[in-house]
Structure 1
Amino acid sequence: MHSEYDLICVGSGIGGCAAAAAAADAGARTLVLERTDVVGGVTAVSGGQIWIPGNRWAAALGIADTAEDGARYIDAVAGGHNDPARTRALLGAADEALDLFTARGLELRVLRGLPDYYHPDVAHSTAEGRYLEPVPLPADALGGWAGRLRRTAVWSMGGDGGGTTPAAELVTGQALAGYFLRAALGAGAQVMTGARVTGLRSRDGAVTGVVLDDGREIAARLGVVLATGAYDRNRELVHRFEGVLDDHGTGSPPGITGDHLGMAAALGASIRALPAARNTVQVGFPTGEPDEDGGPRYRTHWVVHPHEIIVNAQGARFADESFYPAINAALHHLDGASQRLPNWPAWLVYDHDLAERGVVQVDPGRVVSAPSVEELARRAGIDAAGLAATVAGYNAACARGRDDAFGRGERPWTLWMSRLAGSGTGPNPTLGPIVRPPFHAARLARVQAGLGSAGLEVDTCARVLRWSGGPIPGLWAVGNATARDDMGFSAQSGTSNLRGMVQGYRAGRSAVS
């Protein structure tokens, strides 16, 4: 490692590596700093999807679509929380970014049959074509870095069918992280692990380098790109920006602690937050196992299965359990009269048919069981009459084959995901009655996935903006470190990887221009 570079990228996920590749490809001496001992960040534990309207792979399949159609779709579902100009700037730059990264070896393919979240209800949505996933990447394509990429058990969503990752092959998020790491290394960027950045150097208001936790300073002639992710592992920031705090966990790797907010705020950076009810927080459980930080490991309960429902303390269902944005929004519902959240805490209630399948990955000590629904409610602290009535109503819906209360399992996106996961069979694979004792209840936790409601405000070149207006010279931020006013929330999976790729590309090119 040298004492001076042209550009320093803090974080080794898609955003940091994209920025490093874009700058190094243009001749800049570039360094990627990763605070943990393995690279890939949140990208490596993601589903690996990139959502790109009007992409070249869909066009090759004869699927008609444009970036403008995608932007109009985002305008419709963002609830006024996107800046239309920034939406169009982001989507409009995707093809240019892809030119560089495909030339550097990135291979993507369309996830056939996977529709937009809100298709067909929202204009400009599509039945397929916008979701892309990485083509499986041989691990040895990374050379000596193969053993330093974050590796976890993942599930393939593509045309090869579901399955766990073979040791010699990278799929989904690992493959995506691998492609962008390879692009950065191939362009000439250097990568250093075990290097936590704790501060920014500046001179006359311009960022000139970084300070590491061991006191070392590294100069950056052109500046610094913050690609540090969100703040899942910082309880103070979660409490400040996400609302519901108790029973909170994350599926993100260590290091996602919001360092970018403090470092940039010291230079007058603008921090912008969207309503937490529109975030893509999911529900799940602590598994009873420790994670890499020694705390409890959490898993999302991301696909609804037959023989289960989600209820509040009154024993009532309150959302379509098959669509996680609906669950998260309902959890934030505030009763103005009592100033309480009536749908939190919440429980997963299920019967023994589901328990035997082993799909509820939860610490056994968190589960209560009983021979009857009424006794289960009493043991769990749920209203017994309310739960009994809810289970009876849900079972009647299963007999009809339709959930008239919330439309569970009727969204095309939900059906695609449920069938992929093998949830059930029949026209609506999410429905199945709760009838076989013993019955079980597990109190749910909220599990973040690397996305925060707040982030640094940036312009279309990913330059960090001041509260007082105008960019901070020499400072860029990309991906989940930035405010989501370009795409809004609850819009689509795959938009975070899109933002990381495009913002990283724009930051790297902006730095060297």
Structure 2
Amino acid sequence: MGSGNGALTAAIAAADGGAETLVIEKSEKFGGTSASSGGGVWIPNNRYAVAEKADDSLEDARAYLDHVTPSNTINHALLEAYLARGPAVIDYLHEHTDWVRYRNLAYYPDYFPDGPGGKTGNRSMEPEPLHASAMGEDFYNLAPQHPQTQMPGGINFTQVEGAVVLAATRGWFSLAAKLVLKYLIDFPTRLKTLRDARLTMGNAGVARLFLALRDRQIPLWRGTTMLDLVQEDGRVIGIVIERNNQREFVRARKGVVLAAGGFERNQAMREQYLPSPTNTQWSAGNLQNTGDAIIAAQKLGADTAQMDWGWWFTTATVPGKPKAYLSQVEKGMAGSITVNRKGARFSNESQNYVSFVADMIKDEANTPSYMIFDADFRQQRPVASVLIQGKFFPDWMIPKAWWTPEFLSKADSLEELASKVGIDSSGLENTVAGFNQYAVDGKDADYQRGDSSYDRYYADPEVKPNPCLAPLLKPPFYALALYPGEMGTAGGLVIDDNAQVLNEDGAVIAGLYACGNTTAALLPAYPGPGATLGPAMVFGFIAGERAAQG
């Protein structure tokens, strides 16, 4: 159940193990959250890093995860299975499919690189770009990238390219021009669709797994909703689905793998489990993720954990857009700060997104928060992917509906800006004055912004002395409203190291497996880029392998 990285990996493993396999997807488009994501997969000691002679080891990876994983959530059996099986799963997909290929991200650091076992790169991979012509007509059934992970006009970029384009650092314009040219001269595709056929990031990852699925002639039923799990004599024997407005029972002779995402689009579940305040409108997650698989398993007595946690990300709600937009790169760039309603900073804006929002949700006064920036920043940097640099997209071109305190505000002074959005004006003025001095000194005395190698990954090295700090001086000043959103929820079903779902007594629910965001997070601290897709694929593979064994 599901069609993201975890589900497709499970299907490949099950089919290769001899099981007759079926994939069902609730949406009319396949790929789930994975398809719209950055597509990164965090697996230490993977074949692509080893090929580049990366300095890493199982011992370093174990030490790192032991250090960053909260002690009350750590599951050593699952961590060991993940670290041991992860590289082997990537090897298998590389060697037993013609399609699944990744690139090493040599310079994308762990999110806590300065801790024991932390690394400044070589643990995450991104999918090799792929031209959509390989998919034929199936391309049009692939869920699109989130516009956040594209250039204006829907032009795709890789993670490496995006680090340059989104931060608008040296060389960004020529790179963007090359990507636009590639898009324009793809005449065969332009005659059919405006969608970019150079698939990257999450689209490339899902497309490559799908092609391996198609080679195995595994059916994928789109527009199919799972209504319930069916259990007989203590074993899950199938599911009830709705397809083409008809209810059907699908018998599972070997097992059912739940890989249908979390519950980010279910407001009732958010209010029941997530920190308050919470709102589906703040989510950048899949519009179909309403917790169906979790609810169905709970009816059978399945245990859950970490239901109060998410793959947190500050988000901006762009008027008229169905999904919230992630705000990460610009939030940490030199020349901006993020403050609460008191006008005070509360965390390091350049640190990883999960940790920043973890600080944000500690105090309701931080919701909403506001990213504050000046005219120089507006001219030079894109904001939330939809607000292109002012020198190309001046303020008069911004839709009138966007000028609202719930999204974007502007004023000739900090005092006036504070009044417009409801921030304490003296608090804001004092915070900006203090931060401007930190920028001159090159040292953030409050939150150590720019000290970590992760902080500096998206920074502009031409900014001195600290690439993450620059003063806010030139009016007009701007405020972008930010909310404690997420890419998906991180709580879910409890599984064992065979990916089997456990009940509240810790016993296996026979015939039921799960992976991905349907399960409780293995790596809730989010140790590195792709720390959701990595476990999803590894435990998806284990689930498919074990299910095939019956």
Q: Secondary structure of 1:209's match?
A: strand
Q: TM-score, normalised by structure 1?
A: 0.90
Q: Which residue of 307, 314, 319 maps to 1:283?
A: 314
Residues 424, 157 of structure 1: CA spacing in aligned structure 2 closer, same or farther, 3 A cutoff?
farther
Tell me how far 1:221 sits from its aligned partner.
1.1
Do residues 320 (structure 1) and 348 (structure 2) align?
A: yes
2:466 is matched by which residue type in structure 1? Answer: N
Tell me how far 1:321 sits from its aligned partner.
0.7
Counterparts of 1:298 and 1:418 in 2: how far apart (Å)? Answer: 24
Counterparts of 2:247 and 2:345 in 1: how far apart (Å)? Answer: 53
Conserved 8 A contact 1:18-1:501: yes
Counterparts of 2:100 and 2:140 in 1: how far apart (Å)? Answer: 20
Match of 2:277 in 1: 245
Counterparts of 1:431 and 1:365 in 2: how far apart (Å)? Answer: 27
2:441 is matched by which residue type in structure 1? Answer: R
Do residues 218 (structure 1) and 244 (structure 2) align?
A: no
Q: Secondary structure of 2:319's match?
A: strand
Conserved 8 A contact 1:25-1:188: no
Counterparts of 1:83 and 1:205 in 2: how far apart (Å)? Answer: 26
Q: Work out the percentage of aligned pairs sharing the same amino acid.
A: 32
Tell me how far 1:114 sits from its aligned partner.
1.7
Q: Secondary structure of 2:282's match?
A: strand
Structure 2 gaps of 5+ residues are 150-156, 166-175, 184-195, 388-401
Counterparts of 1:25 and 1:417 in 2: how far apart (Å)? Answer: 41
Conserved 8 A contact 2:265-2:288: yes
1:489 is matched by which residue type in structure 2? Answer: A
Conserved 8 A contact 1:310-1:346: yes
Q: Secondary structure of 1:417's match?
A: coil
Match of 2:504 in 1: 467
Counterparts of 1:426 and 1:212 in 2: how far apart (Å)? Answer: 59
Tell me how far 1:424 sits from its aligned partner.
6.8
Residues 499, 425 of structure 1: CA spacing in aligned structure 2 closer, same or farther, 3 A cutoff?
same
Do residues 52 (structure 1) and 43 (structure 2) align?
A: yes
Counterparts of 1:94 and 1:87 in 2: how far apart (Å)? Answer: 10
Counterparts of 1:85 and 1:246 in 2: how far apart (Å)? Answer: 33
Do residues 262 (structure 1) and 288 (structure 2) align?
A: no
Match of 2:326 in 1: 300
Tell me how far 1:217 sits from its aligned partner.
1.8
Query: 1:79-478 counterparts in 2 under 5 A?
Result: 79-80=70-71, 81-102=73-94, 103-104=96-97, 105-119=99-113, 121-152=114-145, 153=147, 154=149, 155-158=157-160, 166=183, 167-213=196-242, 214-246=246-278, 248-273=281-306, 276=309, 279-291=310-322, 297-303=323-329, 304-323=332-351, 324-334=353-363, 341-356=364-379, 357-360=381-384, 361=386, 363-366=402-405, 367-419=408-460, 425-426=463-464, 428-450=466-488, 452-478=489-515
Counterparts of 1:274 and 1:234 in 2: how far apart (Å)? Answer: 13
Conserved 8 A contact 1:68-1:88: no
Conserved 8 A contact 2:439-2:471: yes
Counterparts of 1:467 and 1:254 in 2: how far apart (Å)? Answer: 29
Counterparts of 1:449 and 1:302 in 2: how far apart (Å)? Answer: 12
Conserved 8 A contact 1:299-1:447: no
Counterparts of 2:272 and 2:466 in 1: how far apart (Å)? Answer: 39
Residues 37, 418 of structure 1: CA spacing in aligned structure 2 closer, same or farther, 3 A cutoff?
farther
Q: Which residue of 17, 21, 41 maps to 2:32?
A: 41
Alignment size in residue pairs: 485
Deviates most, 360-369 or 204-213: 360-369
Q: Secondary structure of 2:456's match?
A: helix
Counterparts of 2:362 and 2:321 in 1: how far apart (Å)? Answer: 32
RMSD over aligned Cα, in angstroms? 2.1
Deviates most, 251-260 or 358-367: 358-367
Residues 74, 89 of structure 1: CA spacing in aligned structure 2 closer, same or farther, 3 A cutoff?
same
Match of 1:481 in 2: 518
Tell me how far 1:158 sits from its aligned partner.
3.0
Conserved 8 A contact 2:45-2:58: yes
1:402-443 CA distance string (max 9 Å, x none) = 222111123212211335xxx974453332221111222233
2:40 is matched by which residue type in structure 1? Answer: Q
Counterparts of 2:254 and 2:510 in 1: how far apart (Å)? Answer: 9
2:52 is matched by which residue type in structure 1? Answer: L
Match of 1:338 in 2: none
- Deviating beyond 4 angstroms after TM superposition, the runs of 4 or more aligned structure 1 residues are 159-166
Counterparts of 2:426 and 2:141 in 1: how far apart (Å)? Answer: 54
Do residues 490 (structure 1) and 513 (structure 2) align?
A: no
